[in-house]
Amino acid sequence: MSRQPYSDDLDSRAELCREIIRSAGALTLKGFHGEARQNVSMKGPQDFLTEVDAASEAYIRHALAAHFPGDSFFGEEGGGAISDRVWVVDPIDGTANFARGIPHFCISIAFVQNGATEIAAIYNPALDELYFARRGAGATRNGVPIRVAQTARFDAASLEMGWSMRVPNTAYLGVMEALLGMGANVRRAGSGALALAYVADGRSDGYIELHMNSWDCLAGLLLVSEAGGVVCPYLEIGSLDAGGPALAVAPGLASDTSRASNIPLAAYAMPTDRQTAPARAARGPADWRIGG
Ligand code: IPD
């Protein structure tokens, strides 16, 4: 680490976060190109764990604790504790891709203080792309500002939908059918965190997943909103420990994508929607009813 000790503030945490995520990226990329990638176990159906996931999480956990021992840590593999100042970490998002030798995976780190995500970092070591955001300060890729797409027509839109066995297939297929019916191209690339970073970067027009864990999406949701996109009020309709529905989308497609997925938009998200958004948020999380 470049500077010790760190001050007890957000600037120092942001600096440390950038350093740690790059080091964890180097560790995972080494694992990806080595034999460790093939040491895969199953946490459940379609839920993979490699020894590199565990090594990456242990590295991040210890590096953060060494500098900010008062912060809590909540990780995909080892769990942890949730306090007013918590690091929420996915040591490899897109583990199924990683284990199969597909270089579309990332590390995701969010720092949440008093219920607000303050720092977001998503790093794809295979492409050396670091996405980073601070609340209120915009989003960047490798230090260069990024913006969401301006797409406003579904027949020109490319959306991504996440899938897991935590949600009934009928619900997933219902939302996909609604989006396809609106003319959108709907893809799935197997890393929800990277998919959200791509929405922030304008490479994709939106991401929808009916249940997402906080370690998969908190960093990505801040990136999208800091890049000018529209997101759902994730921590209001779900929770940090149990997760919830996730939606992040280009402004021109936001209202209709919210309606198709039945995932509300954050009330502050769209000035033109201010009168209707609270009503949608009050409707609560997606409950597997399709079409809004
Ligand atoms: C999964 C991926 C997937 C998403 C799932 C996640 P993992 O995370 O992000 O794209 O649809 O909800 O659980 O297991 O690769 O860390």
The DSSP secondary structure of 200-217, one letter per residue, reads: HTTSSSEEEEEEE-HHHH
Q: Which of 37, 93, 198, 210 to mutate to test the pocket of ligand 1 (most atoms within 8 A of CB)?
A: 93
pTM exceeds 0.85, yes or no: yes
| Residue 82, Cβ density class (10 Å: 0-12 exposed, 13-18 middle, ≥19 buried) | middle
**pLDDT tens digits along 273-285:** 433 333 333 334 4
* pLDDT at residue 94, as a whole number: 96
Tokens of 170: 């009928």
Length of the chain: 292
Coil/strand/helix, residue 34: coil
**pLDDT exceeding 70 applies to what percent of the chain?**
90
Residue 174 Cβ < 6 Å to ligand 1: no
**pLDDT tens digits along 253-264:** 999 999 999 999
| Residue 189, Cβ density class (10 Å: 0-12 exposed, 13-18 middle, ≥19 buried) | middle
Ligand 1 atom showing the smallest separation from residue 189 Cα = 10
Place of tokens 């060494």: 66
